[in-house]
């Protein structure tokens, strides 16, 4: 009998061309399709919740697929992990209703962006943090972040390489914490535009280094013009932490 | 004029056959010798404080070398970093007296060993943590650790593949902390035998999982027999944090 499986997936995005299948390189989606097909003996195609960019990591991206396999739903993650490369892990598998879709319903996504803020780089965490050698003013970064919370038109923080028309999104929370040399920017929202988190972080770094007064972020937001915001921060600092689904 | 330079070095040990030059693969020492020689135009040979094993990481290993270069001592780290691969970083360079040696004097070394203790692995930190999927009892691990603090003959915790005769060492501190899913074993001492930290951690993991009562660690220590202690824990969880030199 056909059942729909929700898969929670973690990956180190370093060596992948992002989530979505594409002609020019290996992607997380392609690996999942290949290994789920081999595991079930069916032609499986997953549908992902978040099509993360090349180099972006995940602790809890979500995918669904339909299968008639006899493997119990909650065992699929274990069976799949025996086949997956070590940079992709199926964290959880569970059965969901047949009409459950990971994108077309109410959800809150949480991303973290990690910045190593000290003079010298750290080779051990180089794949999952971005190194900023100049000092960053956390107070100014937090003031700037305050303007971005809530419902806004985030057109200034959206890559122009997208066809999305409605650029209004709600940022539920945007926190900046420091522990040791690591600054973590944690952002939750009902959805994010293409490159939105990385453009927000790039802009906050600009504020933190003193290149942009915190108040100016309000203007950047109101301009609805991508050219006003800072450069997109590198992919490797970003991790999709989790996606919470509501009713 | 000849001067002696102390270099503090960080590296991701994943892709190296350890610190020490050897015929069968690339090592951190070999890269440093090669790049310091190219930088100074001299034939540089570094002397390392800690000859870490293949796969072990460092945030603060120490090396010295002698040079007549005109580059100011404290700038050598910056100049060297322009030449080093991204998994090795010169964190600091400074001039020391000509008779200063990184091994033949009073020092305290601190290592950390990181264990991801949850059911599923985490691909993002897979290169610098060891995944233990069964629950670990921290209280028992701490009790066991208590027997190892202080001055002891650590022969049971020393690989037999060494020619060292005196196996007495002092463990100044041995702390076990947990944050989220990560258990960190932090150990400081005046010197460590070959594989000593990894054998201690392997034994503590055995205690934590209930395979060995904490009190038995006292017996293992007293036996002075490597076969009594547990298997050596994997290299990739270990990082040499820093070496502090006294007077």
Each residue's pLDDT tens digit, B37-78? 999 999 999 999 999 999 999 999 999 999 999 999 999 999
Q: 3-state DSSP: chain B helix, strand, coil percent, rounded to 5?
A: 30, 30, 40
Contact B11, B28 (CB under 8 A): yes
Separation between Cα atoms, residue B199 and residue B233, nearest integer Å? 6
CA distance A58 to chain B (A): 8
- Which residues share a beta bridge with A114? A184
Please enumerate in sequence order all residues whose Cβ is within 8 A of that of A194, keeping only pairs 6 or more positions apart, or say none: A158, A159, A161, A162, A164
Contact A75, A9 (CB under 8 A): no
Q: Enter the pTM of the model.
A: 0.92
Whose tokens are 């992948």? That residue is: A16
pLDDT of residue A247: 58
* Residue A53 designated active-site: yes
Going by pLDDT thresholds of 50, 70 and 90, the confidence category of residue B247 is: low
Nearest-CA neighbor of B243 among B51, B50, B86?
B50
pLDDT of residue A201: 98
Strand, coil or helix: A11: strand
State whether residue A14 sits within 8 Å of chain B by CB: no
CB contacts of A126 in chain B (<8 Å) are 12, 86-87
Pairwise CB contact (< 8 Å): A57 & B128: no
pLDDT of residue B163: 82
Pairwise CB contact (< 8 Å): B123 & A86: yes
pLDDT of residue A161: 84
Total number of residues shown for chain A: 247
- Per-residue CA distances from A52 to A18, A60, A105, A143, B212 (Å): 6, 12, 18, 28, 44
Separation between Cα atoms, residue A15 and residue A55, nearest integer Å? 7
Question: Which structure tokens are listed for B15?
Answer: 């892709």
Identify which has the larger pLDDT, B2 or B163.
B2
Strand, coil or helix: B151: strand
Continuous segment of H or E residues that includes residue A32: helix A28-40
SS3 readout for chain A:
CCEEEEEEEEECHHHCCCCCCECCECCHHHHHHHHHHHHHCCCCCCEECCCCCCCCEEEEEEEEEEECCCCCHHHHHHHHHCCCCCCEEEEEEEEECCCCCCCCCCEEEEEEEEEEECCCCCHHHCCCCEEECCCCCHHHHHHHHHCCCEEEECHHHCCCCCCCCCCEEEEEEEEEEEECCEEEEEEEECCCCCCHHHHHHHHHHHHHCCCCCCCHHHHHHHHCCHHHCCCCCCHHHEEEEEEEECC
- Say if residue B185's pLDDT is above 80: yes
CB contacts of A77 in chain B (<8 Å) are 120
Burial class (CB in 10 A: 0-12, 13-18, 19+), B232: buried
Nearest-CA neighbor of A120 among A110, A139, A106, A134?
A134
Q: How many other C-beta atoms lie within 10 A of the C-beta of residue B134?
A: 11
Pairwise CB contact (< 8 Å): A123 & B87: yes
Nearest residue in chain B measured CA to CA from A58: B124
Rounded to the nearest angstrom, the gap between the alpha carbon of residue B210 and the centroid of all alpha carbons in its chain is 27
**Catalytic residues of B, which ones?**
53
For chain A, which ranges sit under pLDDT 50? none
- Say if residue B18's pLDDT is above 70: yes
Nearest residue in chain B measured CA to CA from A118: B91
Query: b/e per residue, B71-80, with b = 16+ CB within 10 A?
Result: eebeebbebb
Q: How many other C-beta atoms lie within 10 A of the C-beta of residue B23?
A: 5
Contact B13, B28 (CB under 8 A): yes
pLDDT of residue B105: 81
Q: What percent of chain B has pLDDT over 70?
A: 100
Residue among B57, B121, B123 minimizing CB distance to A124: B57
Burial class (CB in 10 A: 0-12, 13-18, 19+), A127: buried
pLDDT of residue A44: 97
Contact B87, A123 (CB under 8 A): yes
Separation between Cα atoms, residue A147 and residue A132, nearest integer Å? 23
Question: Which structure tokens are listed for B116?
Answer: 């991801």
Question: Which structure tokens are listed for A65?
Answer: 């697929």
CA distance A159 to chain B (A): 26
């Amino acid at each position: 009998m056909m059942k729909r499986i929700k898969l929670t997936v973690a990956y180190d995005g370093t060596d992948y061309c992002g989530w979505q299948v594409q002609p020019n390189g290996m992607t997380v989606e392609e690996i999942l399709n290949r290994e789920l097909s081999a595991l079930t003996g069916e032609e499986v195609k997953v549908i992902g919740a978040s099509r993360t960019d090349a180099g972006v990591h995940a602790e809890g991206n979500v995918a669904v697929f339909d299968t008639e396999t006899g493997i119990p739903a909650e065992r699929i993650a274990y069976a799949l992990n025996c086949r997956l490369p070590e940079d992709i892990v199926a964290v959880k598998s569970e059965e969901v209703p047949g009409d459950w879709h990971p994108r077309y319903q109410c959800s809150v996504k949480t991303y973290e962006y990690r910045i190593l803020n000290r003079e010298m780089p750290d080779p051990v965490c180089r794949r999952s943090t971005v190194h900023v050698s100049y000092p960053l003013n956390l107070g100014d970064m937090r003031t700037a972040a305050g303007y971005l919370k809530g419902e806004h038109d985030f057109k200034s923080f959206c890559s122009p390489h997208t066809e999305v028309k409605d650029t209004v999104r709600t940022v539920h929370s945007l926190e900046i914490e420091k522990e040791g040399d690591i600054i973590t920017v944690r952002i939750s929202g009902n959805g994010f535009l293409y490159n939105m988190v990385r453009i927000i972080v790039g802009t906050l770094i600009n504020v933190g280094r003193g290149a942009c007064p915190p108040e100016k972020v309000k203007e950047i937001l109101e301009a609805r013009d991508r050219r006003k915001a800072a450069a997109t921060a590198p992919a490797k600092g970003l991790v999709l932490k989790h996606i919470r689904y509501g009713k």
